[in-house]
Structure 1
């Protein structure tokens, strides 16, 4: 009897010991040890890793940008790399680094005006910068030129590209300057990201910045990816997409291509960006953010593999590995980036990026200074060379949703000059007219295109001939009462050798519909 009792007690003890170990393991997996204390040299090394990783990732993916849309880049296709790769792009195509030089524009504002610089100062710097832009950035510049300030210039009713990835690829600065403080990073993103984005477009920047921030204090990629997502409202589509990728990674831990297929199957539809409607091209934030964390999760801390997977996923395949490389570079630190990559940087580290006066070496110095300022401003402490960070558990930002209540109804080719265009009849609640102004007129010429719906004047579309100043689309309106409409246009100030070319009409309605079958079905 005593033996049985002793055995039972031993069994119970063993059971609770196993339970305790399991419980401890689960806690450690869910909340791995954080490192909120960094020496100055460690902080500087991580800042260097952030900017260097972003530059290297952008360079690695440069040759494949938007060459693989709706398809992955298979393993048998080589991606070139050498010590001269970064220099080659600096010399011959410095515009590749558009995400970095827009990033640095905002860094420069912080340097000039301090951590509390108002949103208008960033918008003004963005407007005055001479770099060429596309999509959400281009439309934001157009809005700013006409006096529409943030957040209105990035709102989806004023910007058809509000959900595009523009801010996602430019938000690195916010995470780099806020070590272990993802909520402060989100506040900076609120101030700046609404210049060009809204909803998912803004969430992409918040999420990327939060991952950078957490990469300073954790060496656990899964924790960084998962914890940073807490800054995004759960009911948002962006959160749901990222959560799916994290879940698929657990389900298929050794097969990134299977997870890529699930992303494509479930999240590749883009009905907002006019350039991606009913096409495999996708510059929308969710899918490209999914490819960032695809590389991070399956790269498992390996710098080369992280860049390679984010690149081979396709679409914006220079910016996605740039974000992944920057986040991982922050976690590893510059000194732990593989030498075969680091060796490509010294020859360019003192060369300013295009359209800026900031080089990599200067970016390292500026962001380190800004990070120290933020650490102290947010309750952290400095003792000699040691910084203790006041860690911020992530909390969700406010909920936003672009293009709410709008559903794609169809797309119709136009392919004609506005001078020969007569009318377009459509039914719905929204309309986008794609096209361009073209020709050999004066560079400061601005065409005035009057748009009418059912013979009622709607607006005069200002169409600058200079590409950097124009709208990305000729006309758009997402706020129409549901009705049948007749669109007509009048070009009121035509000049010789210039034309306005209309390419497509995209129509929206208030409920989701399937396109009609081209021919009857047969039994």
Structure 2
């Protein structure tokens, strides 16, 4: 499967010619070997990240993991986790489902190809993905399957955690990634849930052109409407990062302003929060305060709590 991903990205890179970098008026030139290394790094980064944060997923809601609590990792941990808890990797297997369709049918594949493929797959799904699966199997086709009137989880994190492939397949071309996300992301998400996928895809795409995480985050945010709450939430993280040297202070600001989850029935009266924007904020929290350090980035995005496996997965993939 990874061979197909590499091939598709190389083809896409060639089709669009020389990808443009916002911080360089010239063209981005990259060898095939470098491109492949970055793509492999993206997939490895997110796989390691979701494994690292797995034990803490929704165990710390409305609070963060204290610094004196060690986070588990040891040799062989990833293989053991993938074997024992395959359902943890919805971040990965949903991506691969879409990549498989793109590889077999092509970039012009109709939305029903993607929708029917994951709806009939044998793996476990949750929240917006599961609601979309139910809708599709009941005859509500995409994109209606993701519309809020049919899917109460439309603002949830689902497409945000599975849009990584779109950026990896569009190196240096965030707008092209957004076009693909417009087709696929609305199968299960609208609003913040969809914006999260667009933002993540853009970060992956821009990360091919720059190792400056602050630049990557700021440029990716340009793909999101300024008046949306998603944009405002991430813009706050950027602002508070400049204001506070310690990530915990920014975490508290996020908790005060953005922690209410009214989009998921399970989170209305409890601290549980599957909303895309607050979890995207924890991704950006890790990226900005981690400042390019992979281990530190994963540590912060995990310790921030809530969806503590998906968030380090996204952050780790962007750095990868």
TM-score, length of structure 2 as denominator length: 0.92
What's the CA shift for 1:31?
Answer: 3.8
Q: Which runs of 5+ in 1 are unaligned?
A: 1-29, 330-523
Aligned-partner Cα distance in 1 for 2:302–2:83: 22
1:173 aligns with 2:132: no
Matched, 1:123 2:97: no
Q: How many residues align?
A: 299
C-alpha contact (below 8 Å) 1:32/1:220 kept by paired residues: no
1:211 aligns with 2:174: no
Secondary structure of 1:290's aligned partner: helix
Equivalent residues of 1:58, 1:322 under 8 A apart: yes
Secondary structure, aligned partner of 2:30? strand
Measure, in 2, the Cα distance between the counterparts of 1:34 and 1:249.
30
Match of 1:223 in 2: 215
Aligned partner (choices 39, 50, 60) of residue 52 of structure 2: 60
2-structure distance, mates of 1:302, 1:216 = 17
Q: Distance in 1 between matches of 2:172 and 2:82?
A: 32
User: What residue is the counterpart of 1:41 in the other structure?
Assistant: 33
Q: Does 1:288 align with 2:279?
A: yes
Residues 179-223 of structure 1 deviation map (CA, whole Å, 9 limit, x = unaligned): 000001001111000010001110000000000000001111101
User: RMSD between aligned alpha carbons?
Assistant: 1.2
Higher relative contact order (CA 8 A, sep 6+): 2
For 1:53-132, list aligned pairs within 5 A.
53-132=45-124
1:270 aligns with 2:257: no
- Cα separation, partners in 2 of 1:35 and 1:219, compared to 1, 3 Å: farther
Question: Which whole-Å CA distance do the structure 2 matches of 1:82 and 1:303 have between them?
Answer: 16
Query: Unaligned 5+ residue runs, structure 2?
Result: 1-21
Aligned counterpart in structure 2 of residue 258 of structure 1, from 238, 244, 249? 249
**Corresponding residue number in structure 2 for 1:243:** 235
Structure 2 residue corresponding to 1:310, chosen from 298, 301, 313: 301
Over alpha carbons, which structure has the higher Rg? 1
TM-score in terms of structure 1 length? 0.56
Q: Which has the higher strand share?
A: 1
* Residues 34 and 217, structure 1, Cα contact 8 Å, conserved in 2: no
2:127 match: 135
Moved over 4 A (4+): 32-35
Separation in 2 of the partners of 1:83 and 1:143? Answer: 41
Cα pair 1:35 1:218 within 8 Å, conserved:
no
